[in-house]
Chains A and B, each alone.
Chain A
């Protein structure tokens, strides 16, 4: 595909469930970012990868959040024991290099925790 894809687009989870959100970046893009966007807010940085290396996870809100990119392409963001405050849109973005001018965003996964 031409752009960043994410799946699922929508996820409803019961409080306490684990969820896994997938991101397929643009082929060849070295850098991959995860952001969390609450309703009416701007995206907030969670973590980023350079190839398979997770170089910064300072934005992850708790140890229930875990991200991986084992082969340097597809990435998964996992949230364990979901809570209501985890409800948000999770955006993935990729860029050709770390300081490329443009990050290309995927459509996001809207997570609702009941």
Chain B
């Protein structure tokens, strides 16, 4: 089956660092994505990992271990505007089936406090 797990909620302090974990079990794998979604808005792309290791992009970094089915999103120097839901998603790729669609976790709601 397809299963993506991430914590439901997290709280952190402005200026701090927070790590949001994601574990996945999917029938196929063609990349792992992180999206940010503010309430009532569209998800926006943050990062993409297809090989093991760390990808850094400004204040945001994402890590992938394919053997462990594990990823995390690291947010540094937290700002109030980082309060949002963070969605972990795996791009499925199954022979004879759909290719390219994303399988999302339920999202982690991050609250940044002053």
Binding site for B on A (CB under 8 A): 4, 31, 33, 35, 40-45, 48, 55-56, 58-59, 91, 95, 98-99, 101-108
User: What's the minimum C-beta distance from A104 to chain B, rounded to whole angstroms?
Assistant: 8
List the B side residues contacting A102 at CB < 8 Å: 45, 48
Given contacts A42-B104, A42-B105, A102-B48, contact A58 B98 (CB under 8 A): yes
Binding site for A on B (CB under 8 A): 4, 30-31, 35, 41-45, 48, 87, 89, 91, 97-107
Query: Can you list the 8 inter-chain pairs with the closest CB atoms, starting with the nearest?
Result: A42-B104, A56-B98, A105-B42, A45-B101, A98-B100, A102-B45, A101-B48, A105-B43
Given contacts A58-B98, A99-B30, A99-B99, contact A42 B87 (CB under 8 A): yes
List the A side residues contacting B91 at CB < 8 Å: 99
User: What's the minimum C-beta distance from A1 to chain B, rounded to whole angstroms?
Assistant: 13
List the B side residues contacting A41 at CB < 8 Å: 106-107
Least CB separation from A104: chain B residue: B45
Given contacts A42-B87, A99-B30, contact A107 B42 (CB under 8 A): yes
List the B side residues contacting A55 at CB < 8 Å: 98
**Most A-side CB within 10 Å, residue of B4, B45, B100:** B100
Whether B31 and A101, one on each chain, are in contact in the complex, defined by CB atoms closer than 8 angstroms, is yes
Whether A40 and B31, one on each chain, are in contact in the complex, defined by CB atoms closer than 8 angstroms, is no
Given contacts A58-B98, A95-B100, A105-B35, 15 further A-B contacts (CB under 8 A): A33-B101, A41-B106, A42-B4, A43-B87, A44-B104, A56-B97, A56-B98, A58-B97, A99-B99, A99-B100, A103-B45, A104-B45, A105-B42, A107-B42, A108-B42
Query: In the complex, A100 Cα to B31 Cα: how many Å?
Result: 10
Q: Can you report 13 A-B residue pairs in the complex whose CB atoms are below 8 A from each other? A: A35-B102, A40-B106, A41-B106, A42-B105, A45-B102, A45-B103, A59-B101, A91-B43, A95-B100, A104-B45, A105-B42, A107-B42, A108-B42
List the A side residues contacting B104 at CB < 8 Å: 35, 42-44
Whether A43 and B43, one on each chain, are in contact in the complex, defined by CB atoms closer than 8 angstroms, is yes
Other-chain contact of A105, B44, B48, B100 (Cβ < 8 Å): B44
User: What's the minimum C-beta distance from B2 to chain A, rounded to whole angstroms?
Assistant: 10
